[in-house]
Chain A
Amino acid sequence: SPQDQYEMYSVEMEKQGNGDMDVKIKKKKTNKAAKKKEKLESMKKEMDGCLHLTWDTLSICIQGMNSTVAGEILLRDGPNELKPPKGTPEYVKFARQLAGGLQCLMWVAAAICLIAFGIQCGQGDLTSADNLYLAIALIAVVVVTGCFGYYQEFKSTNIIASFKNLVPQQATVIRDGDKFQINANQLVVGDLVEIKGGDRVPADIRIITAQGCKVDNSSLTGESEPQTRAPECTHESPLETRNIAFFSTMCLEGTATGIIVNTGDRTIIGRIASLASGVENEKTPIAIEIEHFVDIIAGLAIFFGGTFFIVAMVIGYPFLKAMVFFMAIVVAYVPEGLLATVTVCLSLTAKRLARKNCVVKNLEAVETLGSTSVICSDKTGTLTQNRMTVSHLWFDNQIHTADTTEDQSGQSFDQSSETWRALCKIVSLCNRAFFKSGQDNVPVPKRIVIGDASETALLKFSEITLGNVMEYRERYKKACEIPFNSTNKFQLSIHELEDPRDPRYLLVMKGAPERILERCATIMIKGQELPLDEQWKEAFQTAYMDLGGLGERVLGFCHLYLDPGQFPRGFAFDTEDMNFPTSGLCFAGLISMIDPPRATVPDAVMKCRTAGIRVIMVTGDHPITAKAIAASVGIISEGSETVEDIAARMRIPVEQVNKREARACVVNGGQLKDMETEELVEILKMHPEMVFARTSPQQKLIIVESCQKLGAIVAVTGDGVNDSPALKKADIGVAMGIAGSDAAKNAADMILLDDNFASIVTGVEQGRLIFDNLKKSIAYTLTKNIPELTPYLIYITVSVPLPLGCITILFIELCTDIFPSVSLAYEKAESDIMHLKPRNPRRDRLVNEALAVYSYFQIGAIQSFAGFTDYFTAMAQEGWFPLLCVGLRAQWENDHLQDLQDSYGQEWTFGQRLYQEYTCYTVFFISIEMCQISDVLIRKTRRLSVFQQGFFRNKILVIAIVFQLCLGCFLCYCPGMPNIFNFMPIRFQWWLVPLPYGILIFVYDEIRKLGVRRHPGSWWDKELYY
């Protein structure tokens, strides 16, 4: 019955995938799990269900829809466009920037300040304004760093927005029996639409009529070959059947009419896109690192603060004072500048990458790329050029290799043979593709061609080898032509000869090799027509198998000079009756085509390998093609065999092969479907070189998850909509900028503007470098927390006048030390980082124990001593001897006591003491600065001597040090500073007091590095190498 015939399809999604995803979501968010599961479940059901088009509907649709009905349906279903993924509201994004772990701590500190201010104000205390300033400063710090982070995020979102194509798509629709051009978003289910070559398919369409219609499904399925569309239902899977054309795919040639069966988000593309949005974004490793680290810092800050709060209470400080101590310790201990430093370092690298055509959407992705241990790469468009290209020719019983490089820089083959001339003639003439006009100055590979992929390949090939094909065709006037169709499997045309005195016609034919061979009686070898005997047939078979085995599409070519007596000039050729010979032809040769790998890819894959990164190919294409490309780019390395290869070599059944012997493995989607996740994980463990072919979007997701289960940090590259769920699931998704679909770009964390896989290697290198440099930066930033904290501890326990104020600490954190810590991001790598294994995310932490301990308890301790030496010097030289300072705090801070005696018997007012205290702050500040200059120099390297690395090679760092000194001078000596920011102009010698400690830091670290270099693996190395 017609109803059966028009039964559209049942969408089948991998249940395994969905089931697995449910479990994952449940694990992650228990409260949301039920809702999410329901959503996915309903989606699955909808896709499982069958879509029926009844004969009645169809007959109405011949005339097109009634526009009023269409209007109603449009109201019901909404416009035919993909809903943009629901973005987080801007205020939430901003709020998130203000509510991190450290930020919360700072809010608490600010709140304590305000409370203290309020209470002191109520008591009529005049000095309480300090607390207000501090509260304002803290809030400003949080808000400013928040704004900075938000701006970074906003900027990267904007990059993405600029990719969106804003030109509305037009579609030809038949309504009420008339043709209209309307915006594609006005289309509704049931509309009758027309598509032709060059159009984008406006919705999911059930084809009713088609003339030579071919579509490019590569963005959906990853198949690089054009797919024929026709009314017949050929497969029960909607992705395989011929009678459905999908939304957003390109119609390459021919025309078709069809009825819209799905619009907007209900299209296959829309569903995949929504599948992608259902996948949780993985946290980036650097985010995990920083979170882990912030937790520790926050914990320690609260621990220290709490301890000293209790100590202060026990010693007998009033509650309010103890609270202020708590706040001060938090301020001293929290590295306020750290997040800004990390953000700036990452964005610097992002900028550097952008110059190399990698646009980073999510800053943290920069580092993720560096820790990547597995890259799951899509084939089409990423590893390959995404254009069919002639790669091999077989003529004169020899396989010749054509130049497949993008810029035609490769070797050409011998073109002197007569056979080649004949073959070339056939290739040029028996071809319906043509260049779009006005492209004479464009290099041939880049010219736009109207025609299908293989004809385009052949046209470009002959244009390059022969010269002006269009003119050549003019000279051989076409008398008649039979285009390619799937029943004949050949294409034929008959041409007049160039020489007007030669009255013969030339018949040229190309098609499926075996069909062509059937029609041939002779074969041309070195310009001689020889009878096609068994020997030649065997030679043909061998060549055909060889080329087919390379995953290439092979076409056969033959010709025949027609007898001028039988077919004189002006003979009326009839393509319907075929009143001309189509057998007994002369076989000229085979040409095979492939979507060739990009020139830079094999090298990039090699580099990944040396960097310890496993490259896995995951494609929707055929296994043979996939394997061939994998072998040619080095994903399957030379000498690696699959189980099947071993079986074939040893002539034993596949089951008898020891699977462990096979380094390589090709798994196709069908096998994958029947596999348990554990099995897949097992296979991934067993075979280092993997190729997945014929995979669906869900399966890509499962592959990524399985790799992650192995503990790998997975990068996924892809361009199609079908890749977008996997891109999102991956630790880092890399989309292609030119070929990539919007869905892929939306789901990705990084975009390769030049679609070049090799750019990923640059990314990995930069990512690793930034990880190393962040480590240095963080070590530098952390060090000064100790000399910031110890003044408070001494102040509380020994009751000396306060050596370092909170405002001053904020200046160190956020003003003077930012630039040097950022400048460490420009540091060159200490060793060849691309020859190391990727870091183990569980073992090689960004901030490890050695780093913290070394920074805190060794360098930080030295800095504290430097600060106190300078502090006591400044105090003593002004009349307050060290022993007098001890226990002086209560009197010192008594603002009624205007005649406090110093060690010489001089009497000081409170105001004078306050300025002296500010002098101490400044002196302590300068001590920290001087030590930090030494610190930044030692942080240049972790293992090498600074002399090996070069003192001045990092120009930015040198500038940063000079800048830091200038800023220090400015803060000290700018008039007005004492009353605004509590900086006093200090004496010159107080700059010099910390110098011995600075030198000590430098020498000590050189000794440490020497020990680490000399005795790797020793106790020293373990304890002191960070």
Chain B
Amino acid sequence: AGLILLFYLILYMFLAGMFSFCIYGLLLTLSPYTPTYRDRVSPPGVMIRPYLHGFTIAFNVSEPSTWTPYVNSMHHFLQAYDDNIQEEKNIECPAGQYFVQDGAESKEKKACQFKRSQLQNCSGIEDPTFGYSTGQPCILLKMNRIIGYRPGYGTPVSVNCAIQKGNESALKSVDFYPGNGTFDLMYYPYYGKLTHVNYTSPLVALHFTDVKKNDFVPIQCRLNGEGIVNNVTNDRFLGRIIFTLSIGM
């Protein structure tokens, strides 16, 4: 019995060694800066803030306890975008063109400033409740990061929102910040978390100023631009996002 246990010990040690060797060999072939393949992760997906536990944003204006979690989540998320932090860590870049940084792969990359104040009415500076207290909530939209990806191939990607299905009149008006709801080219490409340390994803704020109250309003926001895919049925977060607003008065 002892012999067989020893036999298995040796066998498994050998196997574990072989496995470790293989994994070690694998890791040697990987670059820490650029993934071997990026085809699975592009084109980019879309995500919103506030994000608590799903894609239904439901609150009652008259009951602050229903919307404070959303507001806190927004504040928390936007901390990194505080103007002074951005000014301190990041640089100002020329708008309207990709911020390509050549040089060694391992060299630390600069990031462009995206200041909270650019979100204007949705910055939470003038209205710390992001409009939730008045029934005109702000929602932040961000595009997923992909290393080396240049969205729109030279033309900035823009955002539009519409009722997903049902009565079009439930959504009367949406304001977009900054600049009519586009992601400026200067924030791309992304160079990966190892070298692009202070990178902050550009945002588009959606200000729902007139939404039907006391009802579930399904809204679909799409990215529009060259190379963006926003109509795959299997992945409803690829180039678009669907969420529900339910604002009680």
Binding site for B on A (CB under 8 A): 857-858, 861-862, 865, 868-869, 872-873, 876-879, 881-882, 896, 898-899, 901-912, 915-916, 919, 979, 987, 993, 996-997, 1000, 1019, 1023
Contact = CB atoms under 8 A, between A and B. Distances in A.
Contact of B23 (A882, A902, A907, A916): A882
A52 to B, nearest CB: 75
Contact of B46 (A862, A898, A906): A898
Given A857-B8, A905-B193, A877 B237 contact: no
B36 interface: yes
A912 B41 contact: yes
Interface in B185-244: 190, 192-194, 196, 199, 232, 234-238, 241
B36 A878 contact: yes
A905 B235 CA distance: 21
Contacts of A979: 234
B169 to A, nearest CB: 27
Contacts of B104: none
Given A908-B45, A911-B236, 20 more contacts: A865-B18, A869-B26, A872-B23, A877-B35, A877-B36, A878-B41, A881-B30, A882-B23, A882-B27, A896-B54, A899-B47, A905-B145, A905-B194, A907-B41, A907-B47, A909-B237, A912-B238, A916-B40, A919-B40, A1019-B3
B192 A905 contact: yes
A857 B4 CA distance: 12
Contacts of B145: 901, 905-907
A896 B53 contact: yes
B120 interface: no
A861 B15 contact: yes
Contacts of B249: none
Contacts of A915: 40
Given A861-B12, A907-B47, A912-B41, A898 B237 contact: yes
B26 A902 contact: no
A1023 B41 contact: no
A911 B40 CA distance: 10
A188 to B, nearest CB: 75
A878 B30 CA distance: 10
Contacts of A919: 40
B147 A904 contact: yes
A993 B21 CA distance: 13
B40 A907 contact: no
A912 B38 contact: no
Contact of A898 (B12, B45, B193, B232): B45
Interface in B141-194: 142, 144-147, 190, 192-194
**Interface pairs A-B: 3 shortest CB-CB:** A911-B235, A905-B193, A909-B45
Contacts of A908: 40-41, 45, 144
A908 B53 CA distance: 17
Most buried by A among B45, B146, B192: B45
A862 B33 CA distance: 33
A756 B68 CA distance: 93
Nearest to B44: A907
Interface string B5-33: 00110011001101100110011001001
Nearest to A1022: B4
Contacts of A1019: 3
7 contacts: A876-B26, A904-B33, A906-B144, A908-B41, A909-B144, A911-B236, A912-B235
Contact of A904 (B16, B51, B193): B193
B1 to A, nearest CB: 10
A878 B35 contact: yes
A219 to B, nearest CB: 59
Most buried by B among A869, A872, A896, A909: A909
Contacts of B16: 865
A877 B193 contact: no
B193 A996 contact: no
A254 B144 CA distance: 104
Contacts of A987: 37
A904 B4 CA distance: 45
B34 interface: yes
Contacts of B234: 911, 979
B99 interface: no
B229 to A, nearest CB: 11
A504 B117 CA distance: 148
A869 B19 contact: yes
A901 B146 CA distance: 10
Contacts of A907: 41, 44-45, 47, 144-146
A997 B19 CA distance: 10
B55 interface: yes
A879 B4 contact: no
A881 B23 CA distance: 10
Contacts of A869: 19, 22-23, 26
Most buried by A among B7, B41, B142, B199: B41
